Amino acid sequence: MTAIVSAENLTVAYDDFLALDAVSIDVAPGESFGLVGESGSGKSTLLRAVAGLSPVASGRIMLDGKPLDAKYRDKAFYRQVQMVFQDPYGSLHPRQTVDRLLQEPLAVHGIADAEKRILRALDEVGLGSSFRFRYSHQLSGGQRQRIAIARALIIEPQIMLLDEPTSALDASVQAEVLNLLEQVRRDRKLTYIMVSHDLGVVTHMCERLAVMKGGKVVERLSSADLVAGRLKEDYTRNLMVASKGFVRAASMA
Amino acid sequence: MSTMLTVDDLRVSFPTRTGVIEAVRGVSFTLGRERLGIVGESGSGKSQTGRAIMGLTPAHAKISAKTLNFDGIDLLTAPPKVRRNLRGSRVAMILQDPKYSLNPVMSIGRQIVETLRTHENVSKREARDRAIAMLEAVQIRDAGRVFDLHPHEVSGGMGQRAMIAMMLIAGPELLVADEPTSALDVTVQLEVLGILDKLVAERGMGLIFISHDLRLVSSFCDRVIVMYAGKIVEELAASDLGNAKHPYTQGLLNCMPMLGTDRHPLPVLDRQPEWAL
Ligand SMILES: Nc1ncnc2c1ncn2[C@@H]1O[C@H](COP(=O)(O)OP(=O)(O)OP(=O)(O)O)[C@@H](O)[C@H]1O
Ligand SMILES: Nc1ncnc2c1ncn2[C@@H]1O[C@H](COP(=O)(O)OP(=O)(O)OP(=O)(O)O)[C@@H](O)[C@H]1O
Ligand SMILES: [Mg+2]
Ligand SMILES: [Mg+2]
């Protein structure tokens, strides 16, 4: 396999705290790769490192077989790689209209047809044109999340870094957004790296996944293996058990 | 069971340049010392319902109700100072957007300490110890390190738990938790629910648990309200979710990706205009 994105022994440090500790992953072109694991284990840090937003201490990130700079990313990079952040409140400017938010990436990359693309993007994420002139602070959590997804899709990147893209959505809208993401991946041969704490979502969307804990990848497996319970690590097993829901007696620790 | 909160015909609307947006359109329910779940579609008015109870509705919005009463206090006519005092001590809300709601220029630990010290007379030392204990209670590893971090330096799930710790340290009688566990991995999610569960069972806290996760709500709450387009379309005992009557609720149960089922594309709802009437 020639990977389209890979991380080799990637280490990210904040002072003497290692948010990522020699992490390696390989993602094939057209693949959808999942990241699951404990809160604080470094999932967002890994995506952010690919996007040039984490302080890489050592190791490297390869894109199309070429090593990327530790920090600097040019415009062409963001044409090819888009990220949907975990926290749509932070990533969308609250005083901008939806129209401006969708206009901006088109303008930056000199893409024509803005009008048509904006209307289509809104429609794709299940928000009609009536949302076009709302300010982002006038949207609910899930509506904001969908604008963030529309904003990434609108410039038709090759690779999407998706950090909990549907965790703010109710199941009905989640199903629509997941179907959309699958469809555009198929139609445009996109590659996804997707973080989700919902094992149902990850196994639905991804062929392979990595389980993270404490800044390290503790297990790599296929979704089929996970579903069938063919796993090696206790931590992965705990995740499986916990995903079955809340059991009152068990909580009274 | 004694009622602590009565909401009758609550309405919240926003005037905008392009017309009035009716976010909440006549919501009514009562809450005792129990776990009430609110589920509903994105944009259906769940957060705005919670915010109205807390007095956190944006100033330019229009809000009305036949009754909005917490423990004998008429919330709509209570002066701002009374409501602020309530918010500091007896009622609390875990907001959906934790990082955005935390003060970006103050360390997490200091924010929790200040919350504690505004309503309880404790020494700095004790406040610090209790804040760290609270961070540990919500399963933050390395609570000593996280105490000194600023909101932009913590992960999504850590920010969410910092917010939970800050709201719980005041020991509220009524807690509105808006998607409190949506950023948490499942193992931590269960621990946090365990804490909330204990507060209801042992201290008699009233809990409004807003979530889009129907499976979670049905395993955790006593009763569930289902919202659609600003209204309550169905109310159920949590154990009875399987017998939901409204097509929105029924549809919700069917469109979740589940481990081991292979459905591509996932079934989606065929939303009917009359659901929103
Ligand atoms: N700017 C920073 N300064 C200090 N520590 C940081 C900073 N950014 C991230 N960290 C730390 O790095 C660790 C990994 O964070 P990250 O956001 O990658 O976790 P995550 O796996 O995405 O968790 P979650 O599921 O909760 O979102 C955390 O312990 C966090 O506190
Ligand atoms: N400041 C505002 N101005 C105008 N409309 C607003 C404002 N805040 C919220 N709304 C609208 O009110 C409706 C209800 O919003 P609310 O945040 O209560 O939804 P929600 O049920 O919590 O959704 P989600 O699950 O996506 O968080 C939404 O359609 C939203 O766009
Ligand atoms: Mg994260
Ligand atoms: Mg909300």
What is the mean pLDDT of each successive set of 10 residues along chain A, which is 253 residues long? 92 95 97 94 96 96 94 93 84 88 95 94 90 91 90 95 90 90 93 94 95 96 93 89 68 38
Q: What are phi and psi of B221, to 5 degrees?
A: -90, 170
Q: Has domain A5-252 been given CATH number 3.40.50.720?
A: no
CB contact under 8 A, B193 and A246: yes
Residue list, CB under 5 A from ion ligand 4: A 140-141; B 47, 96
Q: Where are the beta strands (DSSP E) in chain B?
A: 5-16, 19-31, 35-40, 62-64, 67-70, 73-74, 91-94, 174-178, 206-210, 223-228, 231-237
The mean pLDDT value for B208-219 works out to 88
The sheet carrying B223-228 orders its strands as B91-94, B174-178, B206-210, B35-40, B223-228, B231-237
Output the pLDDT for position A1: 63
User: Which ligand 1 atom is at minimum distance from the Cα of A197?
Assistant: 25
The mean pLDDT value for B83-100 works out to 87
Domain(s) labelled CATH 3.40.50.300 in chain B stretch across 5-90+171-276
B54-93 residues touching A, CB cutoff 8 A: none
Mean pLDDT across chain B, nearest whole number? 92
Using an 8 Å CB-CB cutoff, list chain B residues near A186: none
Q: Is the pLDDT of residue B258 over 60?
A: yes
CA distance B194 to chain A (A): 5
Output the pLDDT for position B185: 82
Contact yes or no for B256/A200 (Cβ under 8 A): yes
CA distance B72 to chain A (A): 31
Q: How confident is the model at residue B1 (pLDDT cuts 50, 70, 90)?
A: low
Output the pLDDT for position A250: 45
* B100 Cα–ligand 4 center, Å: 14
Q: Where are the domains of chain A?
A: 5-252
Ligand with an atom nearest the CA of residue B39: 2
First to last CA, chain B: 33
One of 3.40.109.10, 3.40.1350.10, 3.40.50.300, 1.10.10.10 is the CATH number of B5-90+171-276, namely: 3.40.50.300
For A116-148, b where at least 16 C-beta lie within 10 A, e where not — what string? ebbeebbebbbbeeebbebbbebbbbbbbbbbb
**pLDDT per residue as tens digits for the range B40-55:** 988 999 999 999 999 9
Using an 8 Å CB-CB cutoff, list chain A residues near B143: none
CA distance B108 to chain A (A): 15
